[in-house]
Amino acid sequence: MFDVYKVETIGGAYCVASGLHRESIYDAHKVAWMALKMIDACLKHITHDDEQIKMRVGLHTGTVLTGVVGRKMPRNCLFGHNVTIVNKFESGSEACKVNVSPTIKERLIKRAGFEFELKPRDPSCLPKEFSNVGNDTWYFLESYRHLPLDDHIKAAMKTIIPVASN
């Protein structure tokens, strides 16, 4: 549905990635849409003991190394610095919030509709790789709102290339 691949589940952590097998300019958007849908499902679902599911989500974008590990039960694994960074964004998130890195925020704002909440945070919570980017600001992805049809049509008209007919 979202063209997002589940890489692994460790304990309560669910790791997904997009763009591993086929690059797209919308990889960040696909993961963001999925994250928003997952949070929405958690907010609507009440557990058997009348508790709400308190999922934390962290999003980041960057290059990773991927490979198949294991002989008896081979599985695809992600390796690299960016895997560590996204884990920090998840662990530093809040319940029922989607915490996004500055790099993924920059990709998401290229497409209208994503709405963010800027939240001042203790700089020590931010991974040191981002200490020079906004120092004390984290971004929480709040929602996605579809553009009116008129705006979609106007945007599409800008990309249409006239073709001469014979």
Q: What is the pLDDT of residue 120?
A: 67
- Per-residue pLDDT, 71: 93
Q: What is the DSSP string of 29-98?
A: HHHHHHHHHHHHHHHH-B-TTS-B---EEEE-----EEEEE-SSS-EEEEESHHHHHHHHHHHTS-TTEE
Dihedral angle computed from the Cα positions of residues 100, 104, 108 and 114, in that order, rounded to the nearest 10 degrees: 0
In degrees rounded to 5, what are phi and psi of residue 144?
A: -130, 130
Q: What is the DSSP letter of 124?
A: G
Give the pLDDT of residue 70: 93
Q: Looking at residue 49, what is its pLDDT? A: 92
Backbone dihedral angles phi then psi of residue 78, each to the nearest 5 degrees: -105, 140
Q: Is the pTM of this model over 0.85?
A: no
β-strand pairing of 56-59 with 97-100: parallel
For 5-160, CATH number? 3.30.70.1230
Euclidean distance between CA atoms 17 and 13, whole angstroms: 13
CA dist 126 and 101 (Å) reads: 9
List per-residue pLDDT tens for the chain, 166 residues long.
678 888 887 777 788 888 887 878 888 888 988 999 999 999 998 889 998 888 899 899 888 888 999 999 998 888 998 888 888 888 878 889 898 888 888 888 887 778 877 676 666 666 666 655 544 567 888 888 776 667 667 777 777 766 666 6
- pLDDT, position 123: 63
How far apart CA 6 and CA 17 sit, in angstroms, is 7
